[in-house]
Structure 1
Amino acid sequence: MGESATTSYSSSPSGYGIGPPWLFRGRALYQLHLVKAEIARAFIPKELKLVEAFGYTLGGLFLAHYDDSPAGVFDELVVIAGIVWNPPTSCAWASRVLVNSHEACRHGRKEIGLPSHVAIFSKRDAKASDQPLYKQRTSFIHSKPKEHSEIQVLEMEDYSQTSICNISLPFAGDCWMGPKIRISLPSFSGQTTHNPQLLKYSCQIECRVRAVKSAKVSRPRIIQLDEFSNDIRAKEKNVDDRLSTENEERDRSIAVLLSKPIMALEFNLLKMQVEAPTVVAT
């Protein structure tokens, strides 16, 4: 079976350059998973209480393609480790955010307090009838009939590329996009090396939403490391310690992605307004 792929990431020398709220337009898949509480709890600050039952919490992924944003066109994968209490409601906690835009990565780290990383999103599209794969120039949330999309997400770090996951998005069915809704998705963030304070922010979303078949997330391929980079890291213990911690956090995020999906929602005609975060007193 023949195949083609699109592989890209963008770069910009500066931040967004505009104040909040920040507006994003595009489409997304919001998928909820049952995540083991012990995995999620490793990411959650001690002052926050994880929402859990029978040893599990509610996490998952938010996979988006933005056609228009302060950083231009880019893709994003947000790994949601779990839900924490914020009486009288609750908030999500992202364990890892992957974007193919240096500008969006810097903004997420500095302004929102997110654990953002630059990544490559390699996409290929296939006919459901096993016809040859071909390049689709728009999005992994597809509109053409009888297709499914395969996405490989590669995290970039120094001289290495680490495969995070492969995501298979099934044939979406008819062209009905569902009812129009407005929702607010509150989240906690912060306590990172780039933003040490505990923060809270909100995403105000308008979109067409419908339930779809869950995407299949598979294990990553072999890590590709530059040998020269390996030699340097082996000589520096402090760097080794940092890499060890980073690798553990990455592995736990992959475990979240591989957990059992229970529901998937497709957001079309997405308009997402991200409010400026506020500092949470601890």
Structure 2
Amino acid sequence: MEVKDTNCTSLGYGKPPWIFKGSALYQLHLVKAENARAFIPKECKLVEAFGYTLGGFFLASYDDSPAGIFDELVVIAGLVWNPPTSCAWAARVLVGSDEACLHGRKVVGLPSQVARFSKKITALPQTSESKSSSFLRRIGLRTSSSNYKNHMDVEVTEIKKQTAMSICNINVNATASQQDSKGWMGPLIKMSLPNFSGRTKYNSNLLKYSCQIECRVRAVQPAKVSGPSALDADKENSSEDQSSNVESVSRVPRGTKRNFSISVMLSKPILALEFNHLKMRVEAPTTVTACSHDTT
């Protein structure tokens, strides 16, 4: 597959690679293939089995980045073949930064939108307590606070043309670093996450880029995701969905892109990984001439 370099020196991000530091939740879901195909260009082949692909979301909080401090929610539609492996395809990227949104759209070819991330941490009682824990608490060796577990609600609201549209609410357990700086946060690992992007009104090229990640990782209980009370498709009739003649966008019926991305968030979770002490190195995207359909 022929690949050409792209010109990535633009905006306030400076020259690549771009470094992001913070923490994140990476959650994998079983996504219906028919929903994922709505976002993927025709020339790309979806990785699927029994009518499902592997999608999910990446919820990150950056305390250091080229765009400063901001939150990000990447909704992953599914996986696309890139033999001998595969690449993720983002259905929607919601960021709490105007600069990050513009960079994502024009340089990385992402379907980025500005969003507001409202966070609320609450302490909920544990559902059960072992006999030994109960005894230790009664004799004063364990405080009553041990019967509570911190939960954080993240309300994600998309901001478009001065209009606020609720996307979802994500209920996650507070990270070990938030609860106890001495808490076990898993082993230190290095990994690469390859991605396809582009084919949008802001960048019509088919692009490929990679995220090199160093972090402490541990498996956690999947976050509970709830959607907005009503999916008002009419609010999606924006210029993004109406005026683009790029095929991957025109394949999505007008007014359904937001609903499809919400359906990904509400699909069945199968694995959740918590990334702490995250350092993510994003390489410059390259232009790809075509997706490969060869799966051998």
Matched, 1:159 2:162: yes
> Quick one: distance in 2 between partners of 1:199 and 1:240?
20
Residue number in structure 2 paired with 1:251: 259
Percent identity, aligned pairs only?
A: 63
Q: Is the alpha carbon distance of 1:192 and 1:147 closer, same or farther for their aligned partners in structure 2, counting shifts above 3 Å?
A: same
Mapped partners of 1:77, 1:26: distance in 2:
14
Go from structure 1 to structure 2 and tell me whether the alpha carbon gap of 1:24 and 1:54 turns closer, same or farther (over 3 Å shift).
Answer: same
1:189 deviates by 0.1
- Residues 149 and 199 of structure 1: CA distance in aligned 2, closer, same or farther (over 3 Å): same
Q: Give how far 1:16 is off.
A: 2.2
User: What CA distance in whole angstroms lies between the structure 1 residues aligned with 2:231 and 2:76?
Assistant: 23
- Could you tell me whether the CA contact under 8 Å between 1:84 and 1:92 is conserved in 2? yes
TM-score by length of 1: 0.82
CA distance in 2 between counterparts of 1:74 and 1:261 reads 25
Distance 1:23 1:171 in 2: 24
C-alpha root-mean-square deviation of aligned residues, in Å?
Answer: 2.7
Alignment TM-score, normalising by the size of structure 2:
0.78
Listed one character per residue, the Cα deviations across residues 171-191 of structure 1 (whole Å, up to 9, x for unaligned) are 557721000000000000000
1:46 to 39, 42, 47: 42
**CA distance in 2: counterparts of 1:148 and 1:279, whole angstroms:** 41
- 1:95-118 CA-to-partner distances (Å, cap 9, x unmatched) read 000001000000000110000000
Larger radius of gyration: 2
- Secondary structure in structure 2 of the residue aligned to 1:40: helix
Q: Comparing 73-82 with 171-180, which one deviates more in the overlay?
A: 171-180
Gaps of 5+ in 2: 1-9, 127-147, 245-251, 291-296
* CA shift in 2, pair 1:17/1:208, >3 Å: closer
One-letter identity of the residue aligned with 1:218: S
Correspondence for 2:227 among 201, 216, 219: 219
Name the structure, 1 or 2, with higher relative contact order (CA <8 Å, separation 6+). 2
Q: Is the 8 A contact 1:128 1:171 kept in 2?
A: no
Residue-pair matches, total:
248
Does structure 1 residue 146 correspond to structure 2 residue 144?
A: no
Q: Say if 2:222 and 2:269, in contact at 8 Å, map to a contact too.
A: yes
5 Å matches for 1:61-76? 61-76=57-72
**Residues of 2 paired with 1:238 and 1:66: CA distance?**
30
Residue 247 of structure 1: CA displacement?
A: 3.1
CA deviation digits over 1:131-164, x for unaligned, max 9? xxxxxxxxxxxxxx72100011000111311100
The reply to whether residue 108 of structure 1 matches residue 114 of structure 2 is no
The letter for the 1-side match of 2:211 is C
Q: Which runs of 4+ in 1 moved over 4 A?
A: 171-174, 237-246
Deviates more, 1:242-251 or 1:47-56: 242-251
Match of 1:269 in 2: 277
